[in-house]
Protein backbone atom coordinates (compact mmCIF):
# COMPACT_ATOMS: atom_id res chain seq x y z
CA UNK A 1 0.00 0.00 0.00
CA UNK A 2 2.83 2.39 0.85
CA UNK A 3 5.09 1.17 -1.96
CA UNK A 4 4.37 4.12 -4.19
CA UNK A 5 5.35 6.61 -1.49
CA UNK A 6 8.60 4.70 -0.89
CA UNK A 7 9.27 4.68 -4.61
CA UNK A 8 8.66 8.43 -4.94
CA UNK A 9 10.95 9.14 -2.01
CA UNK A 10 13.68 6.81 -3.28
CA UNK A 11 13.61 8.33 -6.76
CA UNK A 12 13.85 11.84 -5.34
CA UNK A 13 16.75 10.83 -3.10
CA UNK A 14 18.53 9.59 -6.25
CA UNK A 15 17.77 12.93 -7.98
CA UNK A 16 15.28 11.36 -10.34
CA UNK A 17 11.91 12.88 -11.18
CA UNK A 18 8.69 10.90 -10.86
CA UNK A 19 6.97 9.69 -14.02
CA UNK A 20 4.28 11.92 -15.48
CA UNK A 21 1.62 9.47 -14.35
CA UNK A 22 2.93 9.45 -10.80
CA UNK A 23 3.12 13.26 -10.84
CA UNK A 24 -0.51 13.52 -11.86
CA UNK A 25 -1.44 10.98 -9.23
CA UNK A 26 0.26 13.13 -6.58
CA UNK A 27 -1.89 16.08 -7.63
CA UNK A 28 -5.22 14.40 -8.11
CA UNK A 29 -5.16 10.70 -7.19
CA UNK A 30 -8.25 9.89 -5.15
CA UNK A 31 -6.40 7.31 -3.09
CA UNK A 32 -3.50 9.62 -2.14
CA UNK A 33 -2.94 9.76 1.59
CA UNK A 34 -1.62 13.14 2.57
CA UNK A 35 0.70 12.25 5.45
CA UNK A 36 2.61 9.48 3.61
CA UNK A 37 2.88 11.83 0.60
CA UNK A 38 4.31 14.60 2.75
CA UNK A 39 6.72 12.13 4.29
CA UNK A 40 7.87 11.04 0.82
CA UNK A 41 8.47 14.68 -0.13
CA UNK A 42 10.26 15.21 3.16
CA UNK A 43 12.94 12.61 2.34
CA UNK A 44 14.76 14.76 -0.29
CA UNK A 45 14.00 17.92 1.66
CA UNK A 46 15.78 16.46 4.69
CA UNK A 47 18.66 15.15 2.59
CA UNK A 48 19.42 18.59 1.15
CA UNK A 49 18.32 20.96 3.91
CA UNK A 50 17.90 18.99 7.14
CA UNK A 51 15.20 20.59 9.27
CA UNK A 52 16.19 24.14 8.46
CA UNK A 53 13.86 26.80 7.10
CA UNK A 54 15.21 29.74 5.12
CA UNK A 55 13.47 33.05 5.66
CA UNK A 56 12.99 35.68 2.97
CA UNK A 57 11.76 39.25 3.22
CA UNK A 58 10.29 41.00 0.21
CA UNK A 59 10.71 44.70 -0.40
CA UNK A 60 8.29 46.11 -2.91
CA UNK A 61 10.63 48.92 -3.99
CA UNK A 62 8.33 50.13 -6.76
CA UNK A 63 4.61 49.52 -6.68
CA UNK A 64 1.98 49.60 -9.39
CA UNK A 65 2.27 51.75 -12.52
CA UNK A 66 2.82 48.67 -14.64
CA UNK A 67 1.72 48.58 -18.27
CA UNK A 68 1.61 44.79 -18.39
CA UNK A 69 -1.66 42.93 -17.90
CA UNK A 70 -0.82 39.94 -15.70
CA UNK A 71 -4.29 39.09 -14.43
CA UNK A 72 -3.22 37.94 -10.95
CA UNK A 73 -1.29 41.12 -10.17
CA UNK A 74 -2.67 44.14 -8.29
CA UNK A 75 0.01 46.31 -9.92
CA UNK A 76 -1.12 45.58 -13.45
CA UNK A 77 -2.84 48.11 -15.69
CA UNK A 78 -5.75 45.69 -15.86
CA UNK A 79 -6.29 45.67 -12.10
CA UNK A 80 -8.67 47.90 -10.20
CA UNK A 81 -7.26 46.85 -6.84
CA UNK A 82 -7.16 49.67 -4.33
CA UNK A 83 -3.39 49.90 -4.07
CA UNK A 84 -1.20 52.92 -3.59
CA UNK A 85 1.15 53.32 -6.52
CA UNK A 86 4.61 54.71 -6.10
CA UNK A 87 7.77 55.00 -8.17
CA UNK A 88 11.03 53.52 -6.92
CA UNK A 89 11.77 54.19 -3.26
CA UNK A 90 14.84 56.25 -2.35
CA UNK A 91 18.17 54.48 -1.98
CA UNK A 92 18.16 55.37 1.71
CA UNK A 93 14.80 53.71 2.25
CA UNK A 94 15.79 50.58 0.35
CA UNK A 95 19.04 50.25 2.31
CA UNK A 96 17.28 50.85 5.66
CA UNK A 97 14.77 48.13 4.80
CA UNK A 98 17.59 45.74 3.91
CA UNK A 99 19.03 46.42 7.36
CA UNK A 100 15.67 45.63 8.97
CA UNK A 101 15.43 42.38 7.03
CA UNK A 102 18.91 41.36 8.19
CA UNK A 103 17.99 42.20 11.78
CA UNK A 104 14.87 40.02 11.52
CA UNK A 105 17.09 37.06 10.61
CA UNK A 106 16.30 36.91 6.90
CA UNK A 107 18.94 35.12 4.89
CA UNK A 108 17.78 36.85 1.72
CA UNK A 109 16.50 40.29 0.88
CA UNK A 110 14.40 40.36 -2.27
CA UNK A 111 13.98 43.70 -4.04
CA UNK A 112 10.98 43.62 -6.32
CA UNK A 113 10.09 46.23 -8.94
CA UNK A 114 6.85 46.40 -10.83
CA UNK A 115 6.99 46.79 -14.60
CA UNK A 116 7.94 44.94 -17.75
CA UNK A 117 11.63 45.45 -17.16
CA UNK A 118 14.26 48.01 -16.19
CA UNK A 119 16.17 50.21 -18.63
CA UNK A 120 19.92 49.78 -18.87
CA UNK A 121 20.46 52.93 -16.82
CA UNK A 122 18.02 51.76 -14.17
CA UNK A 123 19.75 48.38 -14.11
CA UNK A 124 23.08 50.10 -13.37
CA UNK A 125 21.45 51.99 -10.51
CA UNK A 126 20.02 48.75 -9.10
CA UNK A 127 23.42 47.13 -9.46
CA UNK A 128 24.98 49.84 -7.28
CA UNK A 129 22.33 49.27 -4.61
CA UNK A 130 22.96 45.54 -4.71
CA UNK A 131 26.71 46.14 -4.35
CA UNK A 132 26.13 48.36 -1.30
CA UNK A 133 23.83 45.87 0.45
CA UNK A 134 26.25 43.04 -0.16
CA UNK A 135 29.21 45.04 1.09
CA UNK A 136 27.50 46.23 4.27
CA UNK A 137 25.08 43.53 5.40
CA UNK A 138 25.31 39.77 6.06
CA UNK A 139 22.46 39.04 3.71
CA UNK A 140 22.13 37.70 0.21
CA UNK A 141 20.33 39.80 -2.37
CA UNK A 142 17.69 38.77 -4.86
CA UNK A 143 16.18 40.99 -7.51
CA UNK A 144 12.92 40.76 -9.38
CA UNK A 145 12.82 43.44 -12.05
CA UNK A 146 10.80 42.01 -14.90
CA UNK A 147 12.37 40.87 -18.13
CA UNK A 148 16.17 40.92 -18.15
CA UNK A 149 18.34 40.65 -21.25
CA UNK A 150 21.87 39.42 -21.62
CA UNK A 151 23.54 42.82 -21.09
CA UNK A 152 21.50 43.53 -17.98
CA UNK A 153 22.30 40.08 -16.59
CA UNK A 154 26.00 40.78 -17.16
CA UNK A 155 25.78 44.05 -15.19
CA UNK A 156 23.95 42.36 -12.33
CA UNK A 157 26.33 39.42 -12.27
CA UNK A 158 29.30 41.78 -11.98
CA UNK A 159 28.08 43.13 -8.63
CA UNK A 160 27.40 39.65 -7.33
CA UNK A 161 23.63 39.49 -7.46
CA UNK A 162 22.81 36.21 -5.75
CA UNK A 163 19.53 35.45 -7.44
CA UNK A 164 17.32 36.85 -10.15
CA UNK A 165 13.64 36.12 -9.73
CA UNK A 166 11.30 35.71 -12.64
CA UNK A 167 8.40 33.33 -12.14
CA UNK A 168 7.07 31.17 -14.93
CA UNK A 169 3.76 31.29 -13.04
CA UNK A 170 1.90 28.77 -15.17
CA UNK A 171 2.40 26.48 -18.14
CA UNK A 172 3.14 27.71 -21.67
CA UNK A 173 -0.30 26.67 -22.89
CA UNK A 174 -2.14 28.35 -20.00
CA UNK A 175 -0.02 31.50 -20.12
CA UNK A 176 -2.20 33.45 -22.62
CA UNK A 177 -5.11 33.10 -20.18
CA UNK A 178 -3.32 35.15 -17.58
CA UNK A 179 -1.25 37.63 -19.60
CA UNK A 180 -1.24 39.01 -23.14
CA UNK A 181 1.51 41.66 -23.01
CA UNK A 182 4.43 39.28 -22.76
CA UNK A 183 4.86 35.59 -23.36
CA UNK A 184 5.98 32.52 -21.51
CA UNK A 185 8.97 32.39 -23.87
CA UNK A 186 10.00 35.92 -22.75
CA UNK A 187 10.07 34.63 -19.21
CA UNK A 188 12.15 31.60 -20.09
CA UNK A 189 14.64 33.87 -21.92
CA UNK A 190 15.13 35.95 -18.78
CA UNK A 191 15.95 32.81 -16.81
CA UNK A 192 18.38 31.75 -19.52
CA UNK A 193 20.10 35.15 -19.41
CA UNK A 194 20.59 34.79 -15.65
CA UNK A 195 21.93 31.29 -16.07
CA UNK A 196 24.32 32.34 -18.85
CA UNK A 197 25.93 34.82 -16.47
CA UNK A 198 26.09 32.54 -13.47
CA UNK A 199 23.32 34.24 -11.49
CA UNK A 200 21.21 31.77 -9.57
CA UNK A 201 17.67 31.91 -10.80
CA UNK A 202 14.53 31.94 -8.73
CA UNK A 203 11.37 30.98 -10.53
CA UNK A 204 8.13 29.38 -9.57
CA UNK A 205 4.43 29.27 -10.07
CA UNK A 206 1.08 30.53 -8.94
CA UNK A 207 -1.46 27.79 -8.29
CA UNK A 208 -5.19 28.46 -8.36
CA UNK A 209 -5.51 30.48 -11.59
CA UNK A 210 -7.79 28.06 -13.43
CA UNK A 211 -4.97 25.77 -14.52
CA UNK A 212 -5.23 21.99 -14.74
CA UNK A 213 -3.07 19.57 -12.79
CA UNK A 214 -1.19 18.93 -16.03
CA UNK A 215 -0.29 22.64 -16.20
CA UNK A 216 1.19 22.45 -12.69
CA UNK A 217 3.08 19.34 -13.69
CA UNK A 218 4.47 21.02 -16.81
CA UNK A 219 5.80 24.00 -14.85
CA UNK A 220 7.40 21.73 -12.24
CA UNK A 221 9.19 19.82 -15.01
CA UNK A 222 10.20 22.97 -16.90
CA UNK A 223 11.81 24.32 -13.71
CA UNK A 224 13.71 21.04 -13.40
CA UNK A 225 14.80 21.31 -17.02
CA UNK A 226 16.05 24.86 -16.40
CA UNK A 227 17.86 23.69 -13.23
CA UNK A 228 16.25 26.43 -11.18
CA UNK A 229 17.70 26.32 -7.66
CA UNK A 230 14.97 28.35 -5.96
CA UNK A 231 11.27 27.71 -6.54
CA UNK A 232 8.55 29.81 -4.93
CA UNK A 233 5.15 28.13 -5.01
CA UNK A 234 2.45 30.77 -4.67
CA UNK A 235 -1.24 30.18 -4.09
CA UNK A 236 -3.38 32.82 -5.71
CA UNK A 237 -4.39 35.55 -3.31
CA UNK A 238 -7.88 36.79 -4.23
CA UNK A 239 -7.30 40.53 -4.42
CA UNK A 240 -10.48 42.42 -5.14
CA UNK A 241 -10.16 44.29 -8.43
CA UNK A 242 -7.81 41.82 -10.10
CA UNK A 243 -8.90 40.15 -13.33
CA UNK A 244 -7.86 36.64 -12.26
CA UNK A 245 -9.45 35.63 -8.99
CA UNK A 246 -9.46 32.33 -7.17
CA UNK A 247 -10.71 29.39 -9.23
CA UNK A 248 -11.97 27.67 -6.09
CA UNK A 249 -9.44 24.84 -6.34
CA UNK A 250 -7.28 25.81 -3.41
CA UNK A 251 -7.91 23.67 -0.38
CA UNK A 252 -5.06 23.16 2.10
CA UNK A 253 -4.69 19.64 0.69
CA UNK A 254 -4.40 20.88 -2.92
CA UNK A 255 -1.68 23.32 -1.79
CA UNK A 256 0.23 20.57 0.04
CA UNK A 257 -0.04 18.20 -2.91
CA UNK A 258 1.34 20.92 -5.25
CA UNK A 259 4.24 21.59 -2.89
CA UNK A 260 4.97 17.87 -2.62
CA UNK A 261 4.96 17.50 -6.38
CA UNK A 262 7.35 20.43 -6.85
CA UNK A 263 9.72 18.93 -4.26
CA UNK A 264 9.61 15.44 -5.78
CA UNK A 265 10.32 16.81 -9.26
CA UNK A 266 13.01 19.21 -8.00
CA UNK A 267 14.52 17.31 -5.06
CA UNK A 268 17.50 19.58 -4.37
CA UNK A 269 15.87 22.97 -4.99
CA UNK A 270 14.99 25.49 -2.32
CA UNK A 271 11.23 25.07 -2.50
CA UNK A 272 9.41 28.01 -0.97
CA UNK A 273 5.87 28.03 0.34
CA UNK A 274 5.22 31.56 -0.85
CA UNK A 275 2.31 33.95 -1.39
CA UNK A 276 -1.03 32.77 -0.05
CA UNK A 277 0.55 30.47 2.55
CA UNK A 278 -1.31 31.92 5.48
CA UNK A 279 -4.74 32.33 3.92
CA UNK A 280 -4.95 29.09 2.01
CA UNK A 281 -3.14 26.63 4.28
CA UNK A 282 -4.47 28.14 7.49
CA UNK A 283 -4.19 25.63 10.38
CA UNK A 284 -2.28 23.22 8.12
CA UNK A 285 0.46 25.76 7.39
CA UNK A 286 3.20 23.99 9.31
CA UNK A 287 2.71 20.82 7.19
CA UNK A 288 4.12 22.83 4.27
CA UNK A 289 7.51 22.58 5.97
CA UNK A 290 7.70 18.89 5.07
CA UNK A 291 8.05 19.54 1.33
CA UNK A 292 9.17 23.21 1.52
CA UNK A 293 12.31 24.51 3.22
CA UNK A 294 11.77 28.21 2.76
CA UNK A 295 9.13 30.90 3.26
CA UNK A 296 8.49 34.64 3.44
CA UNK A 297 7.79 36.64 6.56
CA UNK A 298 5.95 39.96 6.84
CA UNK A 299 3.70 39.48 3.84
CA UNK A 300 4.11 39.76 0.11
CA UNK A 301 4.20 42.50 -2.50
CA UNK A 302 0.85 44.06 -1.83
CA UNK A 303 -0.72 41.72 0.68
CA UNK A 304 -0.36 40.98 4.35
CA UNK A 305 1.04 37.78 5.78
CA UNK A 306 2.21 36.45 9.13
CA UNK A 307 4.90 38.43 10.86
CA UNK A 308 8.29 37.26 12.07
CA UNK A 309 7.02 36.31 15.52
CA UNK A 310 4.12 34.11 14.41
CA UNK A 311 6.12 32.50 11.62
CA UNK A 312 9.12 31.66 13.77
CA UNK A 313 6.81 30.22 16.41
CA UNK A 314 5.13 28.03 13.79
CA UNK A 315 8.52 26.80 12.56
CA UNK A 316 9.68 25.98 16.07
CA UNK A 317 6.39 24.34 17.05
CA UNK A 318 6.68 22.02 14.05
CA UNK A 319 10.18 20.95 15.11
CA UNK A 320 12.09 22.87 12.42
CA UNK A 321 14.64 25.62 12.86
CA UNK A 322 15.14 29.00 11.23
CA UNK A 323 18.27 29.17 9.13
CA UNK A 324 18.94 32.87 9.52
CA UNK A 325 21.72 35.09 8.26
CA UNK A 326 25.07 34.71 10.08
CA UNK A 327 24.65 37.77 12.32
CA UNK A 328 21.13 36.79 13.38
CA UNK A 329 22.29 33.22 13.93
CA UNK A 330 25.13 34.40 16.17
CA UNK A 331 22.73 36.54 18.24
CA UNK A 332 20.40 33.62 18.62
CA UNK A 333 23.25 31.34 19.65
CA UNK A 334 24.08 33.93 22.30
CA UNK A 335 20.62 33.49 23.80
CA UNK A 336 18.45 36.03 21.96
CA UNK A 337 15.42 34.15 20.68
CA UNK A 338 13.21 36.02 18.19
CA UNK A 339 10.46 33.46 18.66
CA UNK A 340 10.20 34.02 22.38
CA UNK A 341 7.16 35.50 24.07
CA UNK A 342 4.69 34.93 21.27
CA UNK A 343 1.19 36.27 21.68
CA UNK A 344 -1.03 34.49 19.19
CA UNK A 345 -3.82 36.59 17.74
CA UNK A 346 -7.41 35.55 18.22
CA UNK A 347 -9.13 33.97 15.24
CA UNK A 348 -10.56 36.51 12.79
CA UNK A 349 -13.70 36.25 10.72
CA UNK A 350 -13.32 34.33 7.48
CA UNK A 351 -13.21 36.09 4.08
CA UNK A 352 -14.51 33.31 1.90
CA UNK A 353 -12.18 30.37 2.39
CA UNK A 354 -9.14 32.66 2.43
CA UNK A 355 -8.37 33.93 5.90
CA UNK A 356 -5.55 35.98 7.40
CA UNK A 357 -4.82 36.73 11.03
CA UNK A 358 -5.51 40.29 12.23
CA UNK A 359 -6.23 43.28 10.04
CA UNK A 360 -10.03 43.03 10.32
CA UNK A 361 -10.14 40.70 7.35
CA UNK A 362 -8.31 43.19 5.10
CA UNK A 363 -6.03 41.46 2.60
CA UNK A 364 -3.92 44.38 1.38
CA UNK A 365 -1.04 45.68 3.48
CA UNK A 366 -1.95 48.97 5.19
CA UNK A 367 1.02 50.73 3.57
CA UNK A 368 -0.09 49.58 0.14
CA UNK A 369 -3.84 50.17 0.25
CA UNK A 370 -5.28 53.53 -0.68
CA UNK A 371 -7.19 55.33 2.05
CA UNK A 372 -10.21 55.83 -0.24
CA UNK A 373 -11.05 53.28 -2.88
CA UNK A 374 -11.33 54.58 -6.41
CA UNK A 375 -8.95 57.50 -5.81
S1 LIG B 1 3.60 40.69 -12.46
FE2 LIG B 1 5.12 42.26 -12.91
S3 LIG B 1 4.95 42.59 -15.11
FE4 LIG B 1 3.07 41.53 -14.48
S5 LIG B 1 1.60 43.21 -14.06
FE6 LIG B 1 2.60 42.70 -12.11
S7 LIG B 1 4.30 44.13 -11.96
FE8 LIG B 1 3.63 44.12 -14.10
Q: Which tens digit of pLDDT belongs to each residue from 177-206?
A: 999 999 999 999 999 999 999 999 999 999
d(CA 226, CA 125): 28
Q: Which tens digit of pLDDT belongs to each residue from 57-111?
A: 888 888 877 889 999 999 898 899 888 888 888 999 999 989 988 888 888 888 8
Tell how far the Cα of 366 is from the centroid of ligand 1, in angstroms. Answer: 20
d(CA 303, CA 274): 12
* Residue 300 pLDDT greater than 90, yes or no: no
Closest CA to 49 of 281, 225, 263, 204: 263
Work out the pLDDT band at 371, boundaries 50, 70, 90: low
Confirm or reject: Cβ of 79 under 6 Å from ligand 1. Answer: no
The mean pLDDT value of the chain amounts to: 89
Q: Which tens digit of pLDDT belongs to each residue from 351-366?
A: 346 767 777 678 888 7
What is the per-residue pLDDT for 347? 37
Work out the pLDDT band at 270, boundaries 50, 70, 90: very high
Compute the average pLDDT of residues 294-306.
86
Burial class (CB in 10 A: 0-12, 13-18, 19+), 132: middle
Tell how far the Cα of 72 is from the centroid of ligand 1, in angstroms. Answer: 9
- Which atom of ligand 1 is nearest to 73's Cα? 6
What is the per-residue pLDDT for 375? 35
Burial class (CB in 10 A: 0-12, 13-18, 19+), 189: middle
Out of 88-92, 156-160, 226-230, least confident range: 88-92
Q: What sign has the CA pseudo-torsion 43, 48, 52, 56?
A: negative
Q: What sign has the CA pseudo-torsion 258, 259, 260, 266?
A: positive
> What value, to the nearest 5°, has the Cα angle with vertex 306 and ends 301 and 308?
100
Domain boundaries, the chain: 20-334
What is the per-residue pLDDT for 305? 85
* Residue 119 pLDDT greater than 90, yes or no: yes
pLDDT over 70 for what percent of the chain?
92
* Residue 131 pLDDT greater than 80, yes or no: yes
Q: What is the CATH number of domain 20-334?
A: 3.20.20.70
Query: Which residues neighbour 298 within 8 Å (Cβ) at sequence distance 6 or greater?
Result: 57, 58, 104, 305, 307, 308
Out of 28-32, 94-98, 289-293, least confident range: 94-98
* Residue 30 pLDDT greater than 90, yes or no: yes
Tell how far the Cα of 285 is from the centroid of ligand 1, in angstroms. Answer: 27
* Residue 344 pLDDT greater than 60, yes or no: no
Confirm or reject: Cβ of 62 under 6 Å from ligand 1. Answer: no
Compute the average pLDDT of residues 216-245.
95
Confirm or reject: Cβ of 66 under 6 Å from ligand 1. Answer: yes
What is the per-residue pLDDT for 353? 65
Give the residue, 88 or 253, on which the prediction is more confident: 253
Confirm or reject: Cβ of 116 under 6 Å from ligand 1. Answer: yes
Amino acid sequence: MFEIYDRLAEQALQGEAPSEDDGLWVLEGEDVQLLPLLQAAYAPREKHFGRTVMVHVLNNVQNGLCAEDCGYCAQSKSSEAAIRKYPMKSDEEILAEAENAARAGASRYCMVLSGRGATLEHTRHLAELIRTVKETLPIEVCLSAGLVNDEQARILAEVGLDRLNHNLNTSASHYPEICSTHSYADRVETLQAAKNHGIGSCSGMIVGMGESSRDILEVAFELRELEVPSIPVNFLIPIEGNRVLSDGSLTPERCLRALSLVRLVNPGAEVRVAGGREGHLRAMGSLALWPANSLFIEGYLTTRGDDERDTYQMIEDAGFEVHGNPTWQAARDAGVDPASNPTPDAAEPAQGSFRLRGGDGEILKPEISRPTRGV
